[in-house]
Amino acid sequence: MKKWMLILLAMWLCGVSAVWAQSLECDVVVIGGGGAGLSAAIEAADRGAKVILLEKMAFLGGETGISGGTIQGAETVVQSKAGVADSRRDLFRYWMEAGHYKNDPELVRAVVDMSAANVEWLMKLGVAYEPRNLGLGGWTPVPRAHRTPGGGAELIKALEKAARDRGVTILLGTKATELVSENGRVVGVRAEGKASLVKGKAVIIATGGFAANPEMVKQYAPDYVDSLPITTPGITGDGIRMAQALGAKTRGFGGVIGFRKVKDVPYGSTIDGLGRQVIMYVNKAGKRFVDENAYYALIAEAIHNQGGVVYQIFDEKKREALGSAGQKDFDEALASGLIKQGATIEELATQLGIPPEALASTLAEFNGNAAKGHDPVFWRDAATLVPLTTPPYYGLPVFHANLGTLGGLVINTDAQVIHTSGEAIPGLYAAGSVTGGFFGDVYPAGGSAVAMAVATGRIAGANAASLVK
């Protein structure tokens, strides 16, 4: 190979494409290609703005992409087809009460008011929200969790198509590193990847939370440093840091979107799923501590209160129910010691380091109640009660995990980023999980983050586009 060819090859291998990276110009720059960023880009493009979206990963989606793709909404067309009576008032009150009134009522109202329109907007873009898939989210009896079989991936696919159809330029593998401001006004971002500078009349930060940044978790959610993040690697709080460098105000830190996970196996694998089945959880003392059928963020809080790890207890029948497909994973988990086994419940307890009499007595009580179809300990739904009577017995540790963080940049109802002085920072908008104020300390219901991301994204996109003359 000729010397110049080797040099070129070496440059390519070192990823020095940035050498050729260009300065670009547009009307609206969007940082982050998750639910909020794509919604913002589509809305801005629909209003005639030329939009460039930067996504630091090689793929779009962020946390939204790996989520269930569920969206909360009240008074929606889907609910009306399903005959569900719901109201914006009830959704507003639910979100405020779940947030213990630590959240911003104006922001919550803005998201509530748009929720039905946003469900329809997504349906028009191709997301299949249907009456038969309506479900419960959180602890409300009202089915307002709009689900889609394709999950978050379907949502992102529809949003990406809509963005591309509208001429949005999407630069993958391009990380925003710094906001550029002139005379107090944000006029662009510096970046690494397919562009080094992107200028625009407005910048929308939609970089998601910071679950994949252990330092920031330690600083802003110190109670959850040991929580297992279920996240994509791009969620490192960059937008919070970039805006803070310009004096942006933050609020609402401390909590996470609580979930639970089995350690050392992939999220969603057979063994991880086994850890989340509604069977019987006990703590280190061998006692049940929660309704195993409760809403996931509340189970997560209960696990957190037990020190972050609890045990899923099950019997041979549950193992058999995994079927032949799951058997290989099960055998591997047993061989590696991840799953413990005992010929008797006492033997299993010893394996798990739990007092044997305590676990035996919990199981005897649980089985007696399950046989009667009544759980006087937690009033768990009778349909989910199945006695565990077929040895051998098994135990699987289940850890507190999170699907993202709560808290971030303060925005107003126009999605403008607020400075510590209380003034909006001209030209700067934020949307989605990079913002704080929508949630309190506990994640209220599956589908809330998507509802907030789509609403604030569309608001940010519309207002940013309005700056274009």
Binding site for ligand ADP (CB under 6 A): 31-37, 54-57, 61-64, 175-176, 206-208, 234-235, 238, 432-434, 449, 453
Looking at the Cβ atoms of 40 and 313, the one nearer to ligand ADP is 40
Instruction: Give CA torsion, residues 303, 134, 269, 309, to 10 deg.
Output: 0
Looking at the Cβ atoms of 176 and 271, the one nearer to ligand ADP is 176
Tell how far CA 243 is from the center of its chain.
Answer: 22
Written as six digits, the tokens of 46 are 């629909």
Long-range contacts of 325-333 (CB under 8 A, 24+ apart): 325/270, 326/270, 326/274, 329/265, 329/269, 329/270, 329/271, 330/270, 330/271, 330/274, 333/265, 333/271, 333/396
Looking at the Cβ atoms of 144 and 194, the one nearer to ligand ADP is 194
Long-range contacts of 104-108 (CB under 8 A, 24+ apart): 104/251, 104/437, 104/438, 106/412, 106/413, 107/411, 107/412, 107/413, 107/437, 107/438, 107/456, 108/438
| Core vs surface per residue 409-419: b (16+ CB within 10 A) or e | bbbbeebbbbb
Looking at the Cβ atoms of 137 and 208, the one nearer to ligand ADP is 208
| Per-residue DSSP letter, 124 | H
Looking at the Cβ atoms of 38 and 354, the one nearer to ligand ADP is 38
Looking at the Cβ atoms of 61 and 275, the one nearer to ligand ADP is 61
In the complex, what is the shortest distance from the CB of residue 441 to ligand ADP, in angstroms, rounded to a whole number? 19
In the complex, what is the shortest distance from the CB of residue 75 to ligand ADP, in angstroms, rounded to a whole number? 23
In the complex, what is the shortest distance from the CB of residue 100 to ligand ADP, in angstroms, rounded to a whole number? 22
Burial status of residue 274 (CB atoms within 10 A of its CB: 0-12, 13-18, 19 or more): buried
**Is 207 in contact with 239 (CB distance < 8 Å)?**
yes
In the complex, what is the shortest distance from the CB of residue 276 to ligand ADP, in angstroms, rounded to a whole number? 22
Looking at the Cβ atoms of 95 and 394, the one nearer to ligand ADP is 95
In the complex, what is the shortest distance from the CB of residue 168 to ligand ADP, in angstroms, rounded to a whole number? 14
Written as six digits, the tokens of 402 are 């999170």
For the chain, how long is the longest CA-to-CA vector? 81
In the complex, what is the shortest distance from the CB of residue 111 to ligand ADP, in angstroms, rounded to a whole number? 13
Amino acid (one-letter) located at 268: G
Looking at the Cβ atoms of 34 and 252, the one nearer to ligand ADP is 34
Distance CA 240, CA 217 (A): 13
Amino acid (one-letter) located at 170: I
Report helix angle 105-124 to 448-466, nearest 10: 90
Quick one: which H or E segment has residue 430?
Answer: strand 424-430
Looking at the Cβ atoms of 398 and 451, the one nearer to ligand ADP is 451
Peptide bond just before 355 cis, omega within 30 deg: no
Looking at the Cβ atoms of 175 and 288, the one nearer to ligand ADP is 175
In the complex, what is the shortest distance from the CB of residue 129 to ligand ADP, in angstroms, rounded to a whole number? 18
Looking at the Cβ atoms of 54 and 274, the one nearer to ligand ADP is 54
Distance CA 197, CA 391 (A): 64
Q: Where are the beta strands (DSSP E) in 215-293?
A: 228-229, 250-251, 256-261, 281-282
Distance CA 370, CA 365 (A): 8
Amino acid (one-letter) located at 216: M
Count other C-beta atoms under 10 Å from residue 467's C-beta.
Answer: 17
In the complex, what is the shortest distance from the CB of residue 184 to ligand ADP, in angstroms, rounded to a whole number? 22
In the complex, what is the shortest distance from the CB of residue 49 to ligand ADP, in angstroms, rounded to a whole number? 19
Looking at the Cβ atoms of 152 and 356, the one nearer to ligand ADP is 152
In the complex, what is the shortest distance from the CB of residue 246 to ligand ADP, in angstroms, rounded to a whole number? 15
In the complex, what is the shortest distance from the CB of residue 431 to ligand ADP, in angstroms, rounded to a whole number? 7
In the complex, what is the shortest distance from the CB of residue 316 to ligand ADP, in angstroms, rounded to a whole number? 41
